[in-house]
Structure 1
């Protein structure tokens, strides 16, 4: 009977830890293409910041009989999107990159679009935000698959954000009565 025993070369790990100290949290166990991963994470930062702006604008502009409930939901989502962006930016920094919050390029780098509605119709706002959440869900699923086992920390981060984005889509779908 063959056993698959777990073994570590602790001496080699210790030597590598000392030799590569200037890389901070980035160790040789992270096999991701780090520069590309930083670029993708900065796209996530841009996407989340665009979502913050859209939800905030919608919370302020919404009108109608259900305004209070929907505006509160939009505000809650905006706050959560801000946290998503900050978490992705922190990971960029941990990987040795610079988080990119440049307002001049946010919309170009974002996966979703920012468009202030022509009117303050709550249903239109809910539908457009649901479309944006669905775009984010699909792109974040692709990012998780792309990362695979190369960087478990970043994969878990995106998976955590993805779960909240799915909750947002579910909330919006409920408000639409679907």
Structure 2
């Protein structure tokens, strides 16, 4: 490999001025070994631990959201509550699916998904809520969804091009969280 040609993992301003981008052949060859690492390749190595930490915090957030939505599902009362309580359960199941996807990605990166109940609320970006008033429940869930939107947006920016698979996963989850927030906002206006 020529030493005067920049590699794809070290883009510079010169790249935009006509120099060629070339793949890092040594990293490609290194990917042929270490099969016990599964999806983790040399490209992932510099950021892997940081990404796993971000994902474990997101996992804690999703799990707290599942618990909050489930509580609200079972305790919602009032005229509009049967319909909204059913939707709380739908949201709880969607948040559980997010948690499963995050745990899968953590495992793919060679990390350990942290499901420890002892530290769940400390690691979560969103809060648990025990409101009994339906409007307060909707408001608490909207706040949590907005927090999730902000944290996923920041995570996507932080990860950038460091891990395209994780970035796409977070973008997909972010889209769901935005839909949840819009739905909750509509309920507050009813």
Pick from 112, 122, 125: which aligns with 2:134? Answer: 122
Q: Which string of whole-angstrom CA distances, capped at 9 and with x for unpartnered residues, describes residues 77-125 of structure 1?
A: 00000000110011110110100000111000000111211xx221110
SS in 1 for 2:114: coil
Higher relative contact order (CA closer than 8 Å, sequence separation 6+):
1
Distance 2:110 2:160 in 1: 20
1:174 match: 186
Matched, 1:26 2:49: no
Q: 1:147 aligns to what? A: 159
- Equivalent of 1:65 in 76, 79, 101: 79
Contact kept? 1:59, 1:74, Cα under 8 Å: yes
Rounded Cα–Cα distance in structure 2 between residues aligned with 1:146 and 1:6 = 23
Larger Rg: 2
Say how many residue pairs are matched.
174
What is the RMSD computed on CA atoms of the aligned residues?
1.9
Residue 150 of structure 2 aligns with which residue? 138
- The answer to whether the Cα contact below 8 Å between 2:55 and 2:102 also exists between their aligned partners in 1 is yes
Matched, 1:54 2:54: no
Secondary structure of 2:32 counterpart? helix
CA distance in 1: counterparts of 2:104 and 2:94, whole angstroms = 15
Separation in structure 1 between the aligned mates of residue 123 and residue 141 of structure 2, nearest angstrom: 18
Unaligned runs of 5+ in 1: none
Residue pair 2:61, 2:126 contacting (<8 A) in 1 also? yes
Q: TM-score, normalised by structure 2?
A: 0.84
- Paired residues of 1:32 and 1:151 also in contact (CA < 8 A): no
Distance 2:46 2:177 in 1: 24
Contact kept, 8 Å, 1:31 with 1:151, in 2: the verdict is: no
Q: Could you tell me how far apart the structure 2 residues matched to 1:14 and 1:33 are?
A: 18
For residues 93-104 of structure 1, the aligned pairs below 5 Å read 93-104=107-118
